[in-house]
Structure 1
């Protein structure tokens, strides 16, 4: 980019051109001019900024101050429900912005027999996935896609992930990722209710067929598809094996469902577990605690009383007369 072109971009910003994103950083140059836009990438000597109509390449030696928009990473009115789930009031944004902000919270879940997806819900490393992703397994690993200071994504494989709770009926599982040095978990936010409606835009992030960090977009086809006594969210977002356990987001970046299946011979017929079931599972996680010594862990049924022979009852009553 020539110096003349660079100055023309600065002038364009000065007369009021706004970036496409609702949230933007402010780059203050040593000359006193300001650039407002979304930082796409940082290299050793250059910053790339999206100003809405163009991508500006800014040399780092010409920057006096970089003011980050904290609303991008610190939504207002954050609260925690059920001891783990985080909720926050956030405005509607583009899928591109939301993937950039919350993509680090989506993980790849692996076991010796296959893989699926999951998402982090707490700073302590609690992670949600499907029961069928870890069913019958005792060795689980996850891969986190951590964004470095340079803006690049780094794959971090973590083993010895603990299984904390399982709910086979709702197809949900709660994992615990061990803490890592120099790595802070980035949890996602979960919708406070099921206010989404048919036609609302949604998108999924996961690893379909092992293709890491794939994004698919669609709408809510119906919010109450009843199958085997359980209500599911039906969506046109493309779902494939490997998406299981991953989050279904709305356009505010809130998780509205946990993806768990699709119809084999249909396109655009994916299904997700509503957050109401997820909240119930997390709030009562102690009742679904995992026990690796119990082959039926996840099911907690009491043995029914034995059926009594009517003749024995008659004999006992006769003896007491």
Structure 2
């Protein structure tokens, strides 16, 4: 028979028929019927491909054991859509074991800015999938007095962490995880860590690692234009209480929470001591913030420094350059003196900004 004359049965019709039959099949569990349906969808896809369709470059491997070849047209942290030629099929990520995609990376455009990188065309993936990709970019930063987390920003080994993690320390150690050919990660301690710049005002520090084999580091992209929404899914990777490579997830509670003249991302993602300096990711795998604090006694009250502060700090790192011979180098912002009385200063009340005669006399130096 000519392949063009082959009858086409819509996969969703197959699922519907199986669901209707399951009402009368009391001895067949619903899970088995669901697996049979997914298997039928895969079989239909294979038949369509065998009937003359062009082989695509993406493969979706289902937990049922079936594999579907096609082109992934859309992917979120909840569902995946794949074009198999005659139709576009949609699957829940809970039914997917793994995805082999060549078109996904081909559509990503990287842009190097200073010593960090932004990306365009990244796919939304669930945190468990993003962790496999971004895991090697997250590090643990240790000092004689404590530890925190960090994230690598460039292939040259530049990484960001919190200033309070390295405050007053010069003996730094970084623990990194190098990806191996078999898919595992090799834990390695690096003692050659350079402290490049520190900004205590926004609680950020830039460090640089040296690869023991002189190779490039795997890094994570920073979000370019800020796109944050309340309720947006996010996740953090770090070493809370020294528990390495811990992934926690939640949502953005508030995109703009102000403290002491700075704004932070508020999230219900669990943030604990040891998470400080680690990345807060969106579902596209972009760094949207650097976690730096949580409120003790509060529940689900974590905060992260927005990526825009990180980018500004990195661009102007020379102004905050660390000098081993002068630990106080760089700009330090001191808190202004507290007001001694309520209300506006007298010189501002008349709208002129001039100091009143009485005030001027009080401020004048005494004559001997």
**TM-score category by the smaller chain?**
0.7 to 0.9
Name which of 206, 212, 223 aligns with 1:191.
223
2:111 alignment counterpart: 79
| Pair 1:16-2:45 in alignment | yes
Query: For residues 292 and 210 of structure 2, what CA distance do their matches in structure 1 show?
Result: 25
Give 2:281's match in structure 1, choosing from 237, 249, 257.
Answer: 249
Alignment correspondent of 2:130: 98
Alignment-derived partner of residue 160 in structure 1: 192
Q: Which residue of 1 aligns with 2:266?
A: 234
Alpha-carbon RMSD across the aligned residues, in angstroms, is 3.1
Indicate yes or no: 2:119 matched with 1:88.
yes
Aligned pairs, how many?
Answer: 265
Distance 1:69 1:55, change over 3 A: closer
Is 2:232 the partner of 1:200? yes
Q: Larger Cα Rg: Structure 1 or Structure 2?
A: 2
* Residues 21-32 of structure 1: pairs in structure 2 closer than 5 A: none
* Residues 152/127 of structure 1: CA separation in 2 closer, same or farther (3 Å cut): same
Question: What SS does the aligned partner of 1:272 have?
Answer: strand
If asked which structure has higher relative contact order (CA below 8 Å, sep 6+), I would say 1
Q: Structure 1 residues 199 and 291, CA, compared in 2 at 3 Å: closer, same or farther?
A: same
3-state SS of paired residue (2:109): coil
Instruction: Decide which of 256, 259, 267 is 2:299's aligned counterpart.
Output: 267
Q: For the Cα contact (< 8 Å) 1:119–1:187, is it kept in 2?
A: yes
Q: How does 1:97-116 map to 2 (within 5 A)?
A: 97-116=129-148
How far apart in 2 are the matches of 1:74 and 1:54? 22
Matching residue of 2:178 = 146
Structure 1, unpaired ranges of 5+: 1-8, 18-22, 28-32, 38-50, 57-66, 302-306, 313-321
1:107 CA displacement: 0.3
What are structure 2's unaligned runs of at least 5 residues?
Answer: 1-37, 47-56, 71-92, 334-362
Distance 1:292 1:72, change over 3 A: farther
Q: Is the 8 A contact 2:58 2:102 kept in 1?
A: no
- Does the aligned pair in 2 maintain the 1:126–1:176 contact within 8 Å? yes
Question: Would you say the 8 A contact 1:205–1:248 is kept in 2?
Answer: yes
Deviation at 1:25, TM superposition (A): 5.5
Indicate the structure with greater strand content. 1
In structure 2, C-alpha distance between the alignment counterparts of 1:75 and 1:241, rounded to whole Å:
38
How far the C-alpha of 1:26 sits from its partner, in A, is: 8.3
Cα distance, 1:55–1:234 mapped onto 2, change above 3 Å: closer
Q: Which residue of the other structure, out of 278, 288, 294, is the alignment partner of 2:310?
A: 278
Within the alignment, does 1:290 sit opposite 2:322 as a pair? yes
Note the C-alpha offset of 1:106.
0.3
